[in-house]
Chains A and B, each alone.
Chain A
Amino acid sequence: DAKTTQPPSMDCAEGRAANLPCNHSTISGNEYVYWYRQIHSQGPQYIIHGLKNNETNEMASLIITEDRKSSTLILPHATLRDTAVYYCIVRDLYNQGGKLIFGQGTELSVKP
């Protein structure tokens, strides 16, 4: 079973920041938080991952709370092409062979 909880859907206005929350209250010390997204009928696309510290790349920022029990993915200036299902995944590299366990994700709709 997935170890994360995400809202099933969210809306965001084009050009505004999209903030996607994720709860992972049972995360353990060696588990990473990964974010992927999946645009309709395509394979999942890697976005970003982190362990403790906040991370930023060209796609997004990942903010992890100090207790690591939740995180937020931030798309700073959402465009219509960011409409997708976003998956937050807690990944245990050492005990689960590195497989990704997907939940239901958050369906983000970016509206004009």
Chain B
Amino acid sequence: DTGVSQDPRHKITKRGQNVTFRCDPISEHNRLYWYRQTLGQGPEFLTYFQNEAQLEKSRLLSDRFSAERPKGSFSTLEIQRTEQGDSAMYLCASSLAWRGGTDTQYFGPGTRLTVL
């Protein structure tokens, strides 16, 4: 257990429905990352936050995806109008970034999404 928690662990939904995932990072960590992993592939970067600011978004993050980190603590990732191609494991990671040094990302257990 790294201290990063994700909820729910599994989600099954029908195509066209909206889903929301939550990530709670390690408490003092100022960076929070979202990744997506499809079967047989390595995780792919989606977006990251430094405190509450969303600093980078991948082109994988279509208009149907939105992420927030309102108070610089937990984060949510929402997918609107889900498609079967959204079926994947959604991973959250957090790190403590500091000036002049490296930060190590610690991952949560992931949320597995299945879109029927």
Contact = CB atoms under 8 A, between A and B. Distances in A.
A99 B42 contact: no
B31 interface: yes
A101 interface: yes
Interface stretch (A13-21, A65-73, A75-83, A102-110): A102-110
Given A32-B102, A42-B109, A44-B107, A99 B45 contact: yes
Nearest to B45: A99
A98 B107 contact: no
A93 B4 CA distance: 22
Contact of B31 (A36, A85, A98): A98
A84 B33 CA distance: 22
Interface string B1-42: 010100000000000000000000000000101010000011
Contacts, number: 58
Contacts of B107: 36, 43-46
Interface residues of A, number: 23
Interface residues of B, number: 27
Interface in B84-111: 91, 93, 95, 97, 102-110
B93 to A, nearest CB: 8
Interface of B: 2, 4, 31, 33, 35, 41-45, 48, 55-56, 91, 93, 95, 97, 102-110, 112
Given A43-B108, A99-B48, A104-B41, 10 more contacts: A36-B107, A42-B109, A44-B91, A45-B2, A85-B42, A97-B48, A98-B105, A100-B35, A100-B45, A102-B43
